[in-house]
Amino acid sequence: MESKKKTPIFLHILFILIALSTILPLLLVIIVSITDEHTIQVNGYSFFPEKISFEAYRYLFLDSGTVLRAYGVSIYVTIVGTVVGLLMCALLAYPISRRDFPAHNKLAFYVFFTMLFNGGLVPWYLVFTKILHMKDSLWGLIIPGLLLNGFYVLIMRTFFSTSIPTPIIESAYMDGAGEFRIFFQIVLRLSSPVLATIGLFYTIGYWNDWFNSLVYLSNPKLYSLQYMLNRILLNIQFLVQNTRNNHAAEQMSAMPTETVRMAMAVVGVGPIILAYPFFQNYFVKGLTVGAVKG
């Protein structure tokens, strides 16, 4: 009996330590972002800073219109990309999950093949810019490399084949329902765990993406938040390292380089932290049920 009581206590302590190991670094980033730059240079990072300063956020939002516009671009791209990507994944995963679909094995292999090989960066760029004309377009942030992921399709296919009872589909056929009605009114409604899981993957992928902005955009008004923050950081580092004038060098050395870096992390990760609790109830169930069997 004593050993049985000790086991839950040990597990509680273990999970508390794991939770702290994930929460404390985030808390440190937030604290450092509101710490005075000179204090960090003298004392290093600390959970209890000697002097509080919001200079990093003030510097980051000097041009608040640009930051808010980048926020809007990232929010729009994330929402549209997640919704369209989920729909396309489901529309591809459902047919290859059906044993009565003649080409389901060949199509599943084709999806798997795309996970192993790709055409490379140059053909990838030429197709989307010269043929599909996505240069300086928001579609250039949504479609290339992000919209349809073979791994997500296979997870969703496995969920459909293992968690959607076949008798329900057969009963719907007997009642006169067509394929589209079965898919949208029955299959999708029973697939909320895997949809929420893949939706979270899509949300994180689109929100954190900066590479498509680097490759496809030259118009600053279309920059995503992550790419804009990355450019700000690179500009600060360039100015600090290449300033020759002594007076200017003193001013550059006073710039909040370390605190700006942390403030950028806080600004960039904030919406994802707020969105995660809405997916949490379905996340573990959808991921495990959809990935147990192949």
CATH code at position 117:
1.10.3720.10
The answer as to whether 30 is a domain residue is no
pLDDT attached to residue 194: 86
What span, in angstroms and rounded, lies between the C-alpha atoms of 186 and 274? Answer: 30
What span, in angstroms and rounded, lies between the C-alpha atoms of 97 and 161? Answer: 5
What span, in angstroms and rounded, lies between the C-alpha atoms of 147 and 91? Answer: 13
| pLDDT, average across residues 89-103 | 86
Q: Which two tokens stand for residue 205?
A: 């992928």
Rounded to two decimals, the pTM is 0.79
The answer as to whether 14 is a domain residue is no
pLDDT of 248 > 70? The answer is no
Name the 3-class secondary structure at 103: coil
pLDDT of 37 > 70? The answer is yes
pLDDT of 286 > 70? The answer is no
Q: Please, what is the average pLDDT of the chain?
A: 80
pLDDT of 293 > 50? The answer is no
The answer as to whether 144 is a domain residue is yes
What span, in angstroms and rounded, lies between the C-alpha atoms of 127 and 120? Answer: 11
- Among 164-168, 209-213, 243-247, where is mean pLDDT lowest? 243-247
The answer as to whether 111 is a domain residue is yes
The answer as to whether 170 is a domain residue is yes
What span, in angstroms and rounded, lies between the C-alpha atoms of 143 and 132? Answer: 11
What span, in angstroms and rounded, lies between the C-alpha atoms of 46 and 29? Answer: 10
pLDDT attached to residue 253: 55
User: Could you count the other beta carbons within 10 Å of the beta carbon of residue 211?
Assistant: 15
What span, in angstroms and rounded, lies between the C-alpha atoms of 99 and 130? Answer: 39
Q: Domain of residue 102: give its range.
A: 59-289
pLDDT attached to residue 291: 47
The answer as to whether 68 is a domain residue is yes
Q: Which two tokens stand for residue 176?
A: 């006169």
Binned at pLDDT 50, 70 and 90, residue 89 comes out as: very high
The answer as to whether 1 is a domain residue is no
The answer as to whether 84 is a domain residue is yes
Domains in the chain: how many in total?
Answer: 1
pLDDT attached to residue 249: 53
